[in-house]
A and B are shown apart, each in its own frame.
Chain A
Amino acid sequence: MKRPDTNQALGRLLGPPGPEVGCDVCFDELDRYVELELAGKDADAEIPGLRAHLDGCPACREEHDSLVALVGGEPGR
């Protein structure tokens, strides 16, 4: 059994196994993806490859998480 740290380190090294979009496409689609998520829709089916990219790119992941927190915290959400 490996420590969680070891798995995280391996995950960072190998990245996501499946197809993924790049950072530029991620940025282009991020607002739509986040609104789909917040609406409870299947964002991964609508925008294939973006979730995998978020798993592989810490910077884009952080910006995704911030957008979810910002938009999700607005009144009326």
Chain B
Amino acid sequence: MSAQGTATVRAMRSSTEPAATRPLLDTDSRDWVRALGATGATRDDAVARLHALLLRAARFEVARRRATLPHLRGDDLDDIAAEAADDALMSVLRRLGDFRGASRFTTWAYKFALYEAAVKLRKRAWQGREIPLEPESWSLFSSAAPEPAAEAEQAELLSAIQRAIAEALTPHQRRVLVALAVNGVPIDVLAERLNTTRGALYKTLHDARRKLRKDLLERGLSLDDRLEESR
């Protein structure tokens, strides 16, 4: 688990709540849990209904992202949705004991299908592409300033950011920050290439961001104020 927040944030994890404080299940959710925990035809029927529900969610996610994947054919997208539903079904059944009734069962189950479909689509979109671990472009940080003073300010900002990235971060933090936050590599794609998990990678990104903020602040650059002022 990779909570990056304060003790307060870590303490709110409801998976540690005693059973007595957990909310009661609504009728529909209770029926799902009972049927999936049963045996024989009752369970088989529930599993089939659950798979259909997950397939609908996976297709929903595929449809939302379809425009960003013009190179994929309809058959490919159908296959991705089907694989996502299958994998989500396994995850839901494996983690059925984790369902606490904090939401409706269907909402809880949907997130597994959406996650599986989204991860597969991100990976498919980057299949065969090289992962850029060095900055491809800093242009977003430095161009189109309308005034000379603003242009100078942006040049100073870019220089400070580049220096902070080079000097304050470990090589691993630098690669992760640049790939994810500068080059826009999807976190699941990078996690797969580096043989790690989304959670572990985000922890690295979080630590790198904190170091970067601290370094820039020590150099007299409070970028949160600048971002706030420009909103």
Residues of B204-231 contacting chain A, CB below 8 A: 205-206, 209, 212-213, 223-224, 226-227, 230-231
Q: Which of B106-156 contact A (CB under 8 A)?
A: 106-108, 110-111, 114-115, 118, 122, 140-141, 143-146, 150, 154
The total number of A-B Cβ pairs within 8 Å is 154
Say yes or no: is B3 at the interface (Cβ < 8 Å to chain A).
Answer: yes
Q: Which of B3, B14, B144, B199 contacts A3 (CB 8 A)?
A: B144
Q: Is the CB of B224 within 8 A of A58?
A: no
Total interface residues in chain B, CB < 8 Å: 60
In whole angstroms, how far apart are the Cα atoms of A40 and B29 in the complex? 21
| Nearest chain A residue, comparing its CB with the CB of B11 | A48
B residues near A12, Cβ cutoff 8 Å: 181-182
Select A10's contact among B145, B198, B199, B223, beta carbons within 8 Å: B223
CA distance A28 to B34 in the complex (A): 21
CB–CB B203/A66 < 8 A: no
Which of A5, A7, A32, A56 has a CB less than 8 Å from the CB of B206? A56
- Chain B residues with Cβ under 8 A from A17's Cβ? 213, 224
Q: How far is the CB of B56 from chain A (nearest CB, A)?
A: 9
Contacts of A59 in B (CB 8 A): 118, 122, 186-188, 198
Residues of chain A from 1 to 58 with CB closer than 8 A to chain B in the complex: 1-3, 5-15, 17, 19-25, 27-32, 34-35, 47-49, 52, 56-58
The distance from the CB of B179 to the nearest CB of chain A, in whole angstroms, is 12
Judge whether A23 and B209 touch: CB under 8 Å: no
A48 and B111: CB pair below 8 A? Answer: no
Which residues of chain B are within 8 angstroms of A35 by Cβ–Cβ distance? 103-104, 107
Neighbouring B residues of A13 by C-beta, 8 Å: 161, 177, 181-182, 209, 212
Does residue B67 face the partner (Cβ distance < 8 Å to A)? no
Flag if B146 contacts A1 (CB, 8 Å): yes
On whether A67 and B110 interact (CB within 8 A), knowing A2-B230, A13-B182, A32-B103, the answer reads yes
The answer to whether B230 touches A1, judged by C-beta atoms less than 8 angstroms apart, is yes
Cα A47 to Cα B111 with chains together (Å):
17
A62 to B1, CA, bound (A): 20
Establish whether residues B140 and A9, one from each chain, have CB atoms under 8 Å apart when the complex forms: yes
The CA-CA distance from A39 to B188 in the complex, in Å, is 31
A selection of 14 A-B contacts at a CB cut-off of 8 Å is: A1-B230, A3-B143, A6-B154, A10-B223, A17-B213, A22-B1, A22-B199, A25-B3, A27-B111, A32-B14, A48-B12, A58-B186, A59-B122, A59-B187
Chain A residues with a Cβ under 8 A of chain B = 1-3, 5-15, 17, 19-25, 27-32, 34-35, 47-49, 52, 56-59, 62-63, 66-67, 69-71
New A-B pairs, 8, CB < 8 Å, besides A6-B140, A14-B224:
A5-B140, A10-B226, A14-B209, A15-B209, A24-B3, A31-B102, A48-B8, A49-B6
